[in-house]
Amino acid sequence: MRTLTSKTSQDKEELKRRVSYVGQRLNDRQPEIARAMAELLSTIDYLDGDPRLIALLEASTEGNIETIFHVLINDIAIANLKPATAAVEYAERLAQRGVPANSLVRAYHMGQDDLMASCFEEVHLLDCDAEMKLQVLHHISSVIYEFVDWICLYLLGIYEAEQQRWNTTSGHVHTAMLHSILARKQTSFASFETETGYRLDQYHVALIIWSESSNPETDLLREIEHAARRLASSVKAFSAPVFSAVDRSTAWVWIPRGSSRETLDHEDVTAALAKVPGARASIGIVGHGVTGFRRSHEQAEAARLVAMAGGTDMARVVAYSDRSLAVVSMLTHDMEGLRAWVQESLGQLAVDSESNARLRETTLTFFSMGSHHSAASDAMTIHRNTLKYRLERAEATRGRPLTSGRLDLELALQVCRYLGSSVLLPPTR
């Protein structure tokens, strides 16, 4: 690490004090700096897709920034550091997902540039002469450069080791061949069938199965694979399923249906997952041939994004065919705009409270039953008068008739059912 050097010991102490002060000022702004940097880095190719990867990117960014500020405040040598746990985990996940290593390196260099902009702001505000400001900025720049150089080398070693390990243990199909099919690249379908024993000229249902368990002692992939085989057996699949590991807790699965267009029931999938800790699944629609193989997977991925955006409030198993989920999945690509639209459609009914949740669910059930009071009250097992009272309360809370913008209102209610608090207004106090 570059040490604090200057012409005199007094100058050295002054420089050390100024650097520490800037480090403390930056540390006070840590949440703001980390959040902005994570948003910037998430725009890099291959780093902008999976919500769980984005969450890990945010944790990694926060951990690295905290470490750098700690170094500046306390004048710690880079050689004495240990990388943030989240940074190591993130590098491993990228290796498991086949994300190019240069995306990881680019993220660190972009982060370095972004952080230096914040450093420059703080140094500019120092109450000292221009010469001292230049020394402070030069030293901070050297520290950040050395940190990025050190951690990139460290994490590339982690990445390469994990990539090698993963390539020898991660799956039961050739990952490159599978990705080529999904990406619509020129692929020998006959070779795929020979390698996997799986016929593409049939009907398929794709699933994505993942676990939210944090128990490191559980071999989640093995449990997920067993669950996939249990599912295939229980639904009398045409042959063994295709199973491809994505990372240590996520797998892509295709269930072969032969000539049957029958899809998968939520109950069958839930039962198959019963022994997998923290398991969740998303299901595509049955499709035929190579096109159906791809499309069913794309649908399962879309359903998974909705499930993850909805958080823990969502059901363990969701399907692209669930009512309105396909539309909701397309709307989630602009969460900020979706949130604003939901609040405009629902008015105060968009406030996140237990009473409003009951009113939203009642209104949605009423609409789904063709606006028939008897059918809706029977479906909810409540008295008709209770139903009418809730509908009146929903209308009053919304601030306009339920018949006003009826289609938008029903869709907004479906969005709330799937995405919950992520699109609602915080409770008023």
Task: Give yes or no for residue 429 having a pLDDT over 70.
Answer: no
Q: Is 190 contained in some domain?
A: no
Q: Cα–Cα distance between 48 and 44 in angstroms, integer? A: 6
Q: Using one digit for the tens of pLDDT, what is the confidence trace for 266-298? A: 999 999 999 999 999 999 999 999 999 999 999
Mean model confidence pLDDT for the chain? 89
Q: Cα–Cα distance between 210 and 194 in angstroms, integer? A: 28
Domain co-membership, 254 together with 388: no
Domain co-membership, 277 together with 344: no
pLDDT for residue 176: 72
How many other CB atoms sit within 10 Å of the CB of residue 152? 19
Q: Cα–Cα distance between 294 and 200 in angstroms, integer? A: 10
Q: Is 327 contained in some domain?
A: no
For 30, residues 6+ apart whose C-beta sits below 8 A from its C-beta are 62, 65, 66, 69
Q: C-alpha angle with apex 175: 305 to 274, nearest 5 degrees?
A: 50
Domain co-membership, 212 together with 248: yes
Outline where DSSP puts E strands in 124-200. Answer: none
Q: Is 201 contained in some domain?
A: no
Name the maximum alpha-carbon separation found in the chain: 88
Write down which residue in 118, 150, 169 finishes a domain. 169
Q: Is 300 contained in some domain?
A: yes
Domain co-membership, 316 together with 226: yes
Domain co-membership, 407 together with 287: no
Report the range of poorest mean pLDDT among 12-16, 42-46, 158-162.
42-46
User: What number is the average pLDDT over the span 221-238?
Assistant: 90
Number of domains in the chain: 3
How many other CB atoms sit within 10 Å of the CB of residue 174? 14
Task: Give yes or no for residue 4 having a pLDDT over 60.
Answer: no
Closest by CA position to 57, among listed 100, 99, 91, 12: 91
Closest by CA position to 246, among listed 44, 48, 52, 45: 52
**Phi, psi values for residue 65, rounded to 5°:** -65, -40
Domain co-membership, 282 together with 376: no
Contact between residue 276 and residue 232 where contact means Cβ atoms under 8 Å apart: no
Domain co-membership, 96 together with 116: yes
Q: Which residue is listed with tokens 């639209």?
A: 341
Q: Is 358 contained in some domain?
A: yes
Domain co-membership, 227 together with 283: yes
User: What number is the average pLDDT over the span 181-210?
Assistant: 86
Closest by CA position to 331, among listed 368, 305, 352, 292: 305
User: What number is the average pLDDT over the span 55-61?
Assistant: 89
pLDDT for residue 313: 67
Domain co-membership, 159 together with 28: yes
Tell me, what CATH number does 315's domain have? 3.30.70.270
User: What number is the average pLDDT over the span 396-424?
Assistant: 93
Domain co-membership, 291 together with 377: no
Q: Is 174 contained in some domain?
A: no
- 194 versus 324: which is more confidently predicted? 324
Write down which residue in 296, 322, 348 finishes a domain. 322
* Helix (H) / strand (E) containing 12: helix 9-28
Task: Give yes or no for residue 119 having a pLDDT over 70.
Answer: yes
User: What number is the average pLDDT over the span 74-100?
Assistant: 89
DSSP string over 354-390:
HHHHHHHHHHHHHHHTTT-HHHHHHHHT--HHHHHHH
pLDDT for residue 1: 47
Task: Give yes or no for residue 196 having a pLDDT over 80.
Answer: no
Domain co-membership, 18 together with 140: yes
Write down which residue in 279, 301, 322 finishes a domain. 322
SS3 398: helix
User: What number is the average pLDDT over the span 235-239?
Assistant: 88
Q: Is 221 contained in some domain?
A: yes
Task: Give yes or no for residue 220 having a pLDDT over 90.
Answer: no
Q: Is 140 contained in some domain?
A: yes
Closest by CA position to 18, among listed 125, 126, 121, 120: 126
Tell me which residue range forms the domain holding 384: 332-423
Tell me, what CATH number does 70's domain have? 1.10.490
How large a percentage of the chain has pLDDT more than 90?
A: 64
Task: Give yes or no for residue 252 having a pLDDT over 90.
Answer: yes
Domain co-membership, 15 together with 159: yes
Q: Using one digit for the tens of pLDDT, what is the confidence trace for 369-392? A: 999 999 999 999 999 999 999 999
- 51 versus 180: which is more confidently predicted? 180
How many other CB atoms sit within 10 Å of the CB of residue 33? 21
